Structure 1
Amino acid sequence: MSKQSNNLEVEEFKTIEWKIKISLFIGFALICIVLITYFSNFHGYLSKNDSTWGTFGDFIGGTLNPILAALGFYWLTASIRLQLKELRDTREVLKETAIHQEKLAELENINVETQKKLFEIQQLTLEKQIIASKSQQEQISLQNFENIFFSC
């Protein structure tokens, strides 16, 4: 992986982290705004009446649920996009790995063939050395015989 692609990935992650922080801030701010709006416009105090709490829950749920659901949907789609990008990158790396593995296998086959040829050459060399050694042994035996024969 090149340095430039690493820098791009770091920038992407920084952008994602920034978006997460902004989303959390927006969610928290909306919750605070809705609570402040409710208490400032309607009652301003905590009620002991159940129907007031029901109305409060309906107001909070009706106001915050669509907004928080939209934020959740955004992050769901963002995570799916990120996963698709990662899968695409993984496929590319796997294709490159397969190509490199094929090349490595080809080189291994060439290496095996070269080793076979080298073995054959070594075998021929040893056979020639054996023949030369036998010929030398025969000459030594002949010289020994001649030395013994002519010395008498």
Structure 2
Amino acid sequence: MDIKSKVTAWSREDLEQATKAMVKIAGSVFGLTLVAYFVRFGPFSEYIFGKEGATDVSTAQAAWGQFGDFIGGSLNPFLSALTLVGLVFTILLQQESMARTQADSNNNINSLREQAELSLITARLQALSVTLDVITEMHAQAVASNHMTAIQLLDQKQKIANEILEINDALRNRPVK
């Protein structure tokens, strides 16, 4: 199966854009949280909230606890979503990598098959060549002794030579990959 047929909703670019958007949102929320902190607990909070100043609030543990809950409650959902986007992005990258590895593996298997086939052809050619040499030697001895098998050996020699020529022609006409 092709990896692109499995995952069509999110492309790599979509995930990058989503990650950038989540980072911007988290940064904005963090910035707004800091602004809220300075408005509530800064030097001008007396003018906005009345007589309760920064020193009164800093001693009140309940107010600090509420503020911590506010910050945690504001940032945690965005950071969790950012983590989820990162996880999905990592999974997609792994799938792409696995698809590339599978394609490379298939190419290697095909190359090995071709090499094995060529090795068998080469071995066959070598065997025929040795056989041709032996028959040639036997033919020379039969001719020297005026023996009747010289004609039969000549026929065998011709058949083997034709087979070698056919294999060589097939190898020359073989498409190169």
**TM-score under structure 1 normalisation?**
0.59
Whether 2:32 is the aligned partner of 1:29: answer yes
Equivalent-residue separation in structure 1 for 2:139 and 2:100 (angstroms):
58
Equivalent-residue separation in structure 2 for 1:89 and 1:46 (angstroms):
50
Number of the residue aligned with 1:101: 105
C-alpha change, 1:85 and 1:21, in structure 2 (3 Å) is closer
CA shift digits 1:36-57 (9 cap, x unpaired): 134231447553xxx64222x5
Q: CA deviation at 1:66?
A: 3.2
Q: Is the 8 A contact 1:23 1:71 kept in 2?
A: yes
Q: Is the 8 A contact 1:27 1:68 kept in 2?
A: no
CA shift digits 1:72-129 (9 cap, x unpaired): 2332233134313432552454256336524532541343133112211222123203
Give the alignment's Cα RMSD to 1 decimal.
3.7
Alignment partner for residue 49 of structure 2, among 41, 44, 47?
41
Q: Is the 8 A contact 2:19 2:82 kept in 1?
A: no
Number of the residue aligned with 1:53: 58
Whether 2:95 is the aligned partner of 1:87: answer no
Q: Is the 8 A contact 2:23 2:82 kept in 1?
A: no
Higher helix proportion (structure 1 or 2): 1
Q: Is the 8 A contact 1:35 1:60 kept in 2?
A: no
Number of the residue aligned with 1:19: 22
Equivalent-residue separation in structure 1 for 2:58 and 2:35 (angstroms):
17
Whether 2:62 is the aligned partner of 1:62: answer no
Q: Which has the higher contact order (CA 8 A, sep 6+)?
A: 2
Partner letter of residue 74 of structure 1?
Answer: F
C-alpha change, 1:9 and 1:43, in structure 2 (3 Å) is farther
* Structure 1: segments with no counterpart, 5+ residues: 143-152
Number of the residue aligned with 1:77: 81
Q: 1:105 is paired with a residue of what secondary structure?
A: helix
Count the aligned residue pairs.
Answer: 133
**TM-score under structure 2 normalisation?**
0.53
* Structure 2: segments with no counterpart, 5+ residues: 146-177
